[in-house]
């Protein structure tokens, strides 16, 4: 299993190539969370906004003495009002993800975690609050990164993962990374609910090349990773066409669901580089403003 600090460091390396990912601050006004999205007006925040003359009703301790000492008048230092957005992250950790068709290829889980973690790094660096499924509530800061990394490296025993965006912070952004090979109905439900709350985001389907090509022959028993589901065939090569059509069907279904809910769908193969996938995620989150 990937060790948490290791995952974190690899994700940081991957994310280093990108400017901090500032999730589009759509409808920030309603989402009253402090963050790095400057509101172009004075308020609670960290960045300097303006000096303003002391007015009646201002507290004496608010006076910025350094500035006031230069002249006759007293000034108050104001900071920009900054609001953060929440990002919901869900990475499939079910055993179906622990599959790599060849030696040297990373497993799907490995790749999904890396992309998910890199996204989290970018988001946190941009000052966002990141939640990991139902496990970690949205918080900010590097401490959250460590918690996410720790939670990501755990495996789940069930065959296929069910997306879970439990915090359902309204109007937040979401990223779901999975192979979407399990039942698609729960996903539909989650996405419908999320769309109802104004959550928008991206689905990233991570697949192994073998799942895309089905290069098998001869008498074969196919088993799911935990062995719970199995299918025996006498000649695997005759199944190829029908398998590929089913896979295409599944992708189309995903695209349908996404279209209905305003989400984006991306596909990624473990044989490709993680950079490409991260770039897509970056654009998906940036571009859907």
Return residues touching other proteins (CB under 8 A).
Answer: 96-97, 99, 108, 159-160, 179, 181-183, 208, 210-211, 214, 216-225, 229-235, 238-239, 242-243, 246-247, 250
Which lies closer to other proteins via its Cβ, residue 81 or residue 243? 243
Residue with tokens 């990773």: 225
In whole angstroms, the minimum distance from the beta carbon of 167 to other proteins comes to 28
In whole angstroms, the minimum distance from the beta carbon of 113 to other proteins comes to 16
Which lies closer to other proteins via its Cβ, residue 53 or residue 238? 238
Given a contact cutoff of 8 angstroms between Cβ atoms, the answer to whether 26 and 133 are in contact is: no
Which lies closer to other proteins via its Cβ, residue 71 or residue 104? 104
Interaxial angle between packed helices 108-125 and 142-152, expressed in degrees from 0 to 180 and rounded to the nearest 10: 170
Tokens of residue 6, six digits: 């290791």
In whole angstroms, the minimum distance from the beta carbon of 132 to other proteins comes to 22
Rounded to a whole number of angstroms, the distance between the first and last alpha carbons of the chain is 36
Tokens of residue 242, six digits: 């029908």
In whole angstroms, the minimum distance from the beta carbon of 94 to other proteins comes to 9
Which lies closer to other proteins via its Cβ, residue 189 or residue 235? 235
**Interatomic CA distance for residues 146 and 124, integer angstroms:** 11
Given a contact cutoff of 8 angstroms between Cβ atoms, the answer to whether 170 and 231 are in contact is: no
Given a contact cutoff of 8 angstroms between Cβ atoms, the answer to whether 168 and 195 are in contact is: no
Residue with tokens 């929440």: 86
In whole angstroms, the minimum distance from the beta carbon of 48 to other proteins comes to 53
In whole angstroms, the minimum distance from the beta carbon of 104 to other proteins comes to 16
**Interatomic CA distance for residues 214 and 257, integer angstroms:** 25
Which lies closer to other proteins via its Cβ, residue 57 or residue 218? 218
Which lies closer to other proteins via its Cβ, residue 27 or residue 231? 231
Q: What is the DSSP letter of 106?
A: P
């Amino acid at each position: 299993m990937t060790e948490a600090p290791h995952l974190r460091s690899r994700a940081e390396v991957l994310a280093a190539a990108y400017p901090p990912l500032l999730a589009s601050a759509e409808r920030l006004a309603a989402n009253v969370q402090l963050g790095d999205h400057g509101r172009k007006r004075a308020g609670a925040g960290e960045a300097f906004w303006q000096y303003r003359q002391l007015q009646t009703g201002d507290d004496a301790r608010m006076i910025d003495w350094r500035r006031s000492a230069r002249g006759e008048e007293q000034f108050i230092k104001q900071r920009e009002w900054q609001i953060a957005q929440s990002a919901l992250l869900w990475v499939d950790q079910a055993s179906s993800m622990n599959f790599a068709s060849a030696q040297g290829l990373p497993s799907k889980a490995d790749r999904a975690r890396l992309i998910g973690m890199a996204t989290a790094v970018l988001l946190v660096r941009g000052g966002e609050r990141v939640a990991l499924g139902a496990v970690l509530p949205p918080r900010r800061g590097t401490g959250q990164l460590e918690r996410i990394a720790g939670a990501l490296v755990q495996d789940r025993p069930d065959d296929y993962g069910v997306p879970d965006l439990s915090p359902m912070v309204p109007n937040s952004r979401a990223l779901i990374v999975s192979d979407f090979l399990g039942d698609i109905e729960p996903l539909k439900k989650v996405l419908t609910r999320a769309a109802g709350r104004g959550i928008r985001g991206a689905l990233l389907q991570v697949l192994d090349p073998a799942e895309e090509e089905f290069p098998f022959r001869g008498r074969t028993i196919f088993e799911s990773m935990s062995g719970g589901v199995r299918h025996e065939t006498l000649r695997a090569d005759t199944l190829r066409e029908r398998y590929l059509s089913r896979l295409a069907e599944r992708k189309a279904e995903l695209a349908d669901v996404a279209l209905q809910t305003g989400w984006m769908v991306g596909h990624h193969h473990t044989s490709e580089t993680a950079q490409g996938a991260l770039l897509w995620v970056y654009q998906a989150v940036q571009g859907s403003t």
